[in-house]
Amino acid sequence: MLKSRSIIAVILSLCVMVAVQAEERLKPFVLASIQSGDMAEVVDSTRSKLKSAGFKIAGEYSPYDGVVIIGVTNKALKDEAAKSQFGIFAVAQRVSVTKGKDGKIQVAYTNPVYMAQAYRLKGDLSDVAAELGKALGAKETYGSEKGLTAKKLRDYQYKWLMPYFDDLHDLADYDSYKDAVKKIEKHLEAGQGGVKEVYRIDLPGKEATLFAVHMTEKTPDECAGDKYIMDKIDFKDIKSSAHLPYEIVVRGNHAYALRAEFRIAISFPDLSMMGSNSFASIMCAPSAIEEALTIAVGGEMEE
């Protein structure tokens, strides 16, 4: 009888542990460090640490003063991205170097474990998270007060009637994958729609490419611009700069983008619907972003 009770107790304990793990709450960003010093030196140091840890720097840009975003990938990210239809949205992790209001420099990055769930990957990217933490540091996760469970993230919707992850913009169709990539490269180089390429990542053998793009102040509606949006919603002391840049994905002969109501909300899940620094303050952004990206890939807006 005692042996049976002991077995039951162990089983119950394991069940509790599994339940606790299942309810672990995740947040979109990881604060690596807060430093004093020269911005350019911190960017150089961050870049070197990433390379030493085996990450490939896909590209970088400064969307506005006081911010540099570095896009990185590696074999683990590419392998995981290739396992699901739109896993390529998670093929890059974004590292931000931001000068805060106090003059100190914040180094942060997207939380791979959070993004793995938001983009419905088969794995959890915990190995990538560990590598980034070892390379840059991991003081704390942030970007949401309470965080979201993996279950919530895999079926994330900001509000009722808002889009899910797989409610994508189908921006344009082409004759082939090669034709799509060639034309989009040409359009981005020309800055069509006020949109410029930041970096490009291909998935070998998958006819899948991710373009990270800078939404400049020259978009048809200023509400699509990186700076315009972040000035409105990235208002806390610890910045969520690694929300940027936006992405265009090519799969086969189609170009896609995440809907802004999902793409922005997944980085800022705590933003209120109304009031100052809310989604209402960028109400014009979803349609403006769709228009800019459609023009950028040579597509046509539906009437």
pLDDT greater than 50 at residue 18: no
pLDDT number for residue 161? 86
**Three-class DSSP category at 12:** helix
Q: Which of 209, 201, 219, 212 is nearest to 180 (CA)?
A: 209
Residue 11 is assigned to a structural domain of this protein: no
Question: pLDDT grade, residue 273 (50/70/90)?
Answer: confident
**Three-class DSSP category at 276:** coil
Compute the distance between CA of residue 113 and CA of residue 125 in angstroms, rounded to an integer. 5
pLDDT number for residue 17? 46
Q: Which residues pair with 249 in a beta bridge?
A: 210, 256
Question: pLDDT grade, residue 16 (50/70/90)?
Answer: very low
The parent domain of residue 282 ranges over 25-296
pLDDT greater than 70 at residue 298: yes
CA distances, 272 to each of 29, 153, 233, 261, 296 (Å): 19, 18, 10, 13, 30
pLDDT greater than 60 at residue 19: no
pLDDT digits (tens, 9 = 90+) for 84-133: 999 999 999 999 999 999 999 999 999 999 999 999 999 999 999 999 99
What's the mean pLDDT when you consider all of the chain?
Answer: 92
What CATH number did the domain enclosing 55 receive?
3.30.310.70
CA distances, 167 to each of 163, 240, 260, 280, 292 (Å): 6, 24, 11, 21, 18
pLDDT digits (tens, 9 = 90+) for 38-90: 999 999 999 999 999 999 999 999 999 999 999 999 999 999 999 999 999 99
- Counting the structural domains of the chain, the total is 1
The stretch 291-303 carries a mean pLDDT of 89
Residue 224 is assigned to a structural domain of this protein: yes
Residue 17 is assigned to a structural domain of this protein: no
Residue 255 is assigned to a structural domain of this protein: yes
Between residues 198 and 6, the one the model is more confident about: 198
Residue 284 is assigned to a structural domain of this protein: yes
Residue 301 is assigned to a structural domain of this protein: no
Residue 139 is assigned to a structural domain of this protein: yes
Residue 6 is assigned to a structural domain of this protein: no
DSSP string, 117-180: HHTT-SS--HHHHHHHHHHH---EEESSSS-EEHHHHHT--SSTT---TT--EEEEE-SSHHHH
pLDDT number for residue 176? 97
Q: Which of 188, 201, 173 is nearest to 90 (CA)?
A: 201
pLDDT greater than 80 at residue 7: no
Compute the distance between CA of residue 141 and CA of residue 133 in angstroms, rounded to an integer. 11
Please give the share of the chain, as a percent, with pLDDT higher than 90: 85
pLDDT digits (tens, 9 = 90+) for 208-244: 999 999 999 999 999 999 999 999 999 999 999 999 9
pLDDT greater than 90 at residue 26: yes
The two structure tokens encoding residue 191: 């800055």
